[in-house]
Chain A
Amino acid sequence: MNDETVRTELPESIDATVDLLNSGAYVADRRLATALFLSLRMGRPLFLEGEAGVGKTEIAKVAARTLGRPLVRLQCYEGLDITAAVYEWNYQRQMVEIRLAEASGEVDRERLGRDIFDRRFLTKRALLQALEPEDGVAPVLLIDELDRTDEPFEAYLLEVLSDFQVTIPEIGTIVAREPPIVVVTSNRTREIHDAVKRRCLYHWVDYPDAERELEILRLKAPDAPAELSRQVVAFVQELRQMDLYKLPGIAETIDWTNALIAVDSLSLDPAVINDTLGALLKYQDDIARFDSQQVNDLLQRINAGVAASSNA
């Protein structure tokens, strides 16, 4: 990936959006491409919800890369506030400025006030950077895991998301010359307020079907033998039908495949599954549920399935 990517035009159609995502090594289904296309064309933020590890964040990254735009990422956490998300004044420099003014014998308060709260002393954080990019190129703004913040911050976002502007009391309202492309993600650990959602186009990112997951593996773990990839995907798809606390996401599938490659296994067998299951399942309760008998049964079932599909 090179940083010198030239800015490309927004896609003209849904098909072009699918191609665009594919060119960024993101295997998109058409539904997601439709939502993204609409968001780009209508200048609306795209709100992506889904379980952890299904590739929500990746969409923003790929969009930035393929459209040749910088990515500005705001990682949310509880208690995130304006000084961490939007802007902060550079107090040290301001104080120096005051001292300098004093030294020169100048005590015009009005003027000093104007000078101190000048843009020179403004430290831009993610949101302001996205609205006022340094190089003038409207970036892709990723507001990641919005569900981790609290309601006051959500409320603050309303102005940003609908009008692409923020208000700084000392300066005034800063409006984006060209709105950034906004992607908001949520793991749905809690419900996001309707007012935020109303300003966005919504898409629930689901686990991929077997075919698409296999395609993803081909791109993301190209060293894996074809036979192994098929087994891995079949195994993971079976797991997603089970009653687990945390179903494995695509990220886990890729991790697991890489783990399997690292231990040089050409195909799944019970021993290697037991050794590497931690790459796939992240809860002790889930791992503990699998005794060797269950692993054997599951393995037999998917092997039968894989054999049937490769004969077909």
Chain B
Amino acid sequence: MPDDYTGAGGGRLAENVMHFARVLRTAGLPIGPDKVVDALRALQVAGVRRRDDFYWTLHAVFVDRREQRHLFDQAFQVFWRDPQLLDRMLQLLLPQAGGNAPEPEPPPARLAEALAAGQAPPAAEEDEEDETEVEASLTWSAEERLQTVDFESMTAAEQADARRAIARLKMPVKPLATRRTRPDPRGRQPDLRATMRQSLRQGGATIDLRHRARVQRTPPLVVLCDISGSMAQYSRMFLHFLHAVTNDRDRVHAFVFGTRLTNITRHLRVRDVDEALERTGRVVTDWAGGTRIGACLHEFNFRWARRLLGQGATVLLVTDGLDREAGEGVAEEMARLQRSARRLIWLNPLLRWSGFEAKAGGARAMLPWVDEFRPVHNIRSLVELADALGGQARAPRRQTA
């Protein structure tokens, strides 16, 4: 390729574009050397007489996601007003754009507290809780006891054991048939192409029919997990469960919510559970605060539902239904969520109390819209949940108007 990228700036232009690409890369856009070459070619093709043409030419090459537009715009304004500003601005740009989170980072102390294991509840409370558990645990082996002990009253060692058990837990979701097919002697569709090839191998004398069958695929699983104060003990444990599930199968999307909704799917994909939870902790700013169920569900419905629930997704909603806003707007959002999902399962830790009634405003508003309502407070209930999810393919879809 010729090196005369002649525009207004002659040879300097190529250098500046390269510089600019580096700024964008530092700011987090995935820009490789191939893109720089592309950009120079594009500029050569488009000409750089007009500033907006220049802008949109670079935009077409460097940006490939809507979310990047804002960043590109900022970088462009800063860089092409005065390239000399680069070094100084780069310093300013770095802390803001270096990570994936545009928000300021939460204090690590809070994060450590939120994620630390063995932060046992105050002693008095623990004693009260134990009374009901201790008696039962006498007759059970250690492992059995671990299965039914409440997450809330676990000791640090027990929690560690529980985490290990959860990590072993698989989620046997029944697959759905897709439109794709693969060769299968027991399949139902004739595979004419394979038949023809087979026939030719024998000189066309006989035609033995070969078959194909539908490829099976697990449907997406979307988890919305409440991490507000009242859920603190459970949500921590549930995140371990989520991490195990996310790394066990594809198409799992995980969100947490308290006062706002955060997508943590990408952070949970990290293999190491401690690192995954630490990353999660870094992006979530509303640990152990209040709950705005209606607003968070609205956010999910509005921004994510159409993108994630398309292919027969199951939605797990993990919350105790205690809503700071007394259930305002919850019913409408739940109704919409149920309509968009294949199956909506509500996991509620409060359900372990036999006398539990959905008295809170939030819980009352949610109840009519769920397909299934389950307790989730110990490992046994998680195992039961996994079994229930496994049976979902045969469970008839509820009837809706």
Contact = CB atoms under 8 A, between A and B. Distances in A.
Contact of A102 (B178, B204, B311): B204
A240 interface: no
Interface in B318-356: 332, 336
A198 B46 contact: no
Contact of A34 (B46, B201, B302, B310): B46
B179 A204 contact: no
A101 B59 CA distance: 59
Nearest to A99: B204
Interface in A60-110: 77-81, 89, 91, 94-95, 98, 101-102, 107, 109
A279 interface: no
A40 to B, nearest CB: 9
Contacts of A34: 46, 53, 56-57, 60
A49 interface: yes
A173 B53 CA distance: 38
Contacts of B308: 190
Interface residue range, chain A:
35 or more
B60 A203 contact: yes
14 contacts: A14-B50, A30-B53, A31-B52, A34-B53, A34-B56, A34-B57, A77-B179, A79-B180, A91-B196, A98-B200, A190-B308, A194-B30, A197-B65, A243-B302
A298 interface: no
Chain B residues touching A, majority SS:
helix
Contacts of B46: 14, 34, 37-38, 41
Given A14-B53, A35-B56, A188-B307, A94 B64 contact: no
B204 A204 contact: no
Contacts of B181: 81
A207 interface: no
Contacts of A42: 38, 41-42, 45
B25 interface: no
Contacts of B205: 102, 107
A245 B332 CA distance: 13
B204 A98 contact: yes
Contacts of A14: 46-47, 50, 53
A112 B203 contact: yes
B60 A35 contact: yes
B48 to A, nearest CB: 11
